[in-house]
Amino acid sequence: MSYQVDEKGYYGEFGGAFIPEMLYPNVEELRSQYIEIMQSESFQKKFRALLKDYVGRPTPLYFAKRFSEKYNTKVYLKREDLCHTGAHKVNNTVGQILMAQELGKKRIIAETGAGQHGVATATVCALMGLECIVYMGEIDIERQSPNVARMKMLGAKVIPAKSGSRTLKDATNEAIRDWINNPVDTHYIIGSVVGPHPYPDMVARFQSVISEEIKKQLKEVENTEDPDYVVACVGGGSNAAGIYYHYLDNPKVGIIAVEAAGKGIDTGESAATSALGKMGIIHGSKTLLMQTGDGQITEPYSISAGLDYPGVGPMHANLFTSGRGEFISITDDAAMKAGLELAKLEGIIPAIETSHALAIFENRKFKPDDVVVVNLSGRGDKDLNTYIEYFNL
Ligand SMILES: *Cc1c(COP(=O)(O)O)cnc(C)c1O
């Protein structure tokens, strides 16, 4: 049995493409071509060149000496925070903009919650000179004004979603409506391993460069390609899918997924989907999601905007229910403390999303000679105001 996607677009019982009939041609166009395009020599050449010269890859695999001493185990950090734009998201948007070009698309749409995916999309649209439209909830536009300004500087048009709770899921509905109305010339860039098949698999493949690099880098320093554990925070699950990808079917490598417990799993203010979620359909995919008894999606909460998502991608839902992945949830308070600790021990200020992954060492003990690789998914610059308010800096 494999933990990769099967030919029908499922991870175990999760995944698939649950979409309105009018969207079917768009998704089918992508599904029928994505593997062939991605595997072609010309695509790989362009993708690899951009990853190297534009994104700044390979990112370092850094042995965190003082952090390791503190927790009495060997911790390596995969430095996705050093990617252009400050996080792993650009690995995917670079891949998808090339995919859009191969498919002959001239217009790019995306939805964004906190704005990070919107910025990563606007960035690659500027790079390629393609029209970029980003749907964003009206409330999120108010909350995330620096990212709105970034998108505008990069030439994107930000359209407010004014219906419903005026947040991410409403922006998603607007983007889907746009795609239905513009099937021929438009590509929809989804920002995580979510959405209808083939998106979760396509995004995982673009992010898989993370574990591809780790294998080579670890071989040089530890004389093995296989760490004992790979650890990542999970919002939708794309940075996690990237660090797990080449280890999914290797039982020697433990997989640890870290979710946001928010103010605590039992408080009603949380985003811990594995603990609280039930099977449902979100964003065109069958997966675990937080919902009320009658199937309404629950509004998630986390101090970190990037983990504030009511579901997880189908790969992760399967890792959870099959037991292949170990799922840990971390509160806002524990994450903030871990972020400050990494800054003081290693001189690296992490994104608050990433701080959740770092916080597991407080309670989850590892052996002294275990090699644990943590995906340092992003840098903390965008979160400085939250750190300032929280710690009274
Ligand atoms: C967006 C984001 C995440 C969460 O998204 P995933 O798809 O789960 O990776 C995590 N870390 C950072 C820094 C982010 O910007």
Tens digit of pLDDT at every position of the chain (393 positions) = 899 999 999 999 999 999 999 999 999 999 999 999 999 999 999 999 999 999 999 999 999 999 999 999 999 999 999 999 999 999 999 999 999 999 999 999 999 998 999 999 999 999 999 999 999 999 999 988 999 999 999 999 999 999 988 888 899 999 999 999 999 999 999 999 999 999 999 999 999 999 999 999 999 999 999 999 999 999 999 999 999 999 999 999 999 999 999 999 999 999 999 999 999 999 999 999 999 988 888 889 999 988 988 899 999 999 999 999 999 999 999 999 999 999 999 999 999 999 999 999 999 999 999 999 999 999 999 999 999 999 999
Beta bridge partners, 199, equal none
Residue having the nearest C-alpha atom to atom 10 of ligand 1: 353
**What distance in Å separates the CA atoms of residue 291 and residue 299, rounded to the nearest whole number?**
8
Which tokens go with 189? 């860039």
Nearest CA to ligand 1 atom 1: 306
Chain segment 293-329, per-residue pLDDT in tens: 888 888 899 999 889 888 999 999 999 999 999 999 9
Ligand 1 centroid from CA 233, angstroms: 7
Rounded distance from Cα 372 to ligand 1 centre (Å)? 20
As beta bridge partners, residue 254 has 229
Name every protein residue with a CB atom under 6 angstroms from any ligand 1 atom.
Answer: 87, 89, 116, 192, 233-240, 306-307, 351, 353-354, 377-378
Q: What is the DSSP string of 154-222?
A: TTPEEEEE-STTSSHHHHHHHHHHHHHH-TTTEEE---SS-SSTTHHHHHHHHHTHHHHHHHHHHHHHH
Distance 379 CA to ligand 1 centre (A): 11
What pLDDT, on a 0 to 100 scale, did the predictor assign at position 340?
98
- Position 318 scores a pLDDT of 98
Quick one: pLDDT at residue 231? 99
The predicted structure's pLDDT at residue 72: 98
Going by alpha carbons, the residue nearest to atom 3 of ligand 1 is: 306
CB-count exposure of residue 75 (10 Å: 0-12, 13-18, 19+): buried
Q: What pLDDT score does 209 carry?
A: 99
Helix (H) or strand (E) holding 258: strand 254-262
The pLDDT of residue 167: 86
CA 66 – CA 49 distance, rounded (Å): 35
Closest to 153 (Cα-Cα) out of 178, 132, 128: 132
Amino acid identity, residue 7?
E
Select from 140, 210, 239 the residue to mutate for testing ligand 1; criterion: most ligand atoms less than 8 Å from CB. 239
Which of the residues are catalytic? 89, 111, 377
Distance CA 16, CA 199 (A): 10
C-beta atoms surrounding 66 within 10 Å: 13
**Contact, 73 vs 367, CB < 8 A?**
yes
Can you tell me which atom of ligand 1 is nearest the CA of 350? Answer: 13
Q: Which domains does the chain have, with CATH numbers?
A: 22-51+89-202 (3.40.50.1100), 56-87+208-391 (3.40.50.1100)
Q: Which helix (H) or strand (E) holds 120?
A: helix 116-128
> What pLDDT shows up at residue 165?
85
Q: How far apart are CA 338 and CA 46, in angstroms?
A: 38
Rounded Cα distance, 212 and 189, in Å: 23
Note the Cα 20 to chain centre separation in Å: 25
* Alpha carbon of 184 to ligand 1 centroid (Å): 30
Query: Hey, which of 77, 80, 89, 330 would you mutate to test ligand 1's pocket, going by the most ligand atoms within 8 Å of its Cβ?
Result: 89
Minimum-distance ligand 1 atom for the alpha carbon of 307:
4
288 CB-contact burial (10 Å; exposed 0-12 / middle 13-18 / buried 19+): buried
* Pocket-testing residue among 194, 285, 377, 387, ligand 1, by greatest number of atoms within 8 A of Cβ: 377
Q: What is the DSSP string of 297-360?
A: BPPP--SSGGG--SB--HHHHHHHHHSSEEEEEEEHHHHHHHHHHHHHHHS--B-HHHHHHHGG
Contact 334, 185 (CB under 8 A): no
Sheet holding 74-78, edge to edge: 61-63, 74-78, 371-375, 229-233, 254-262, 325-331
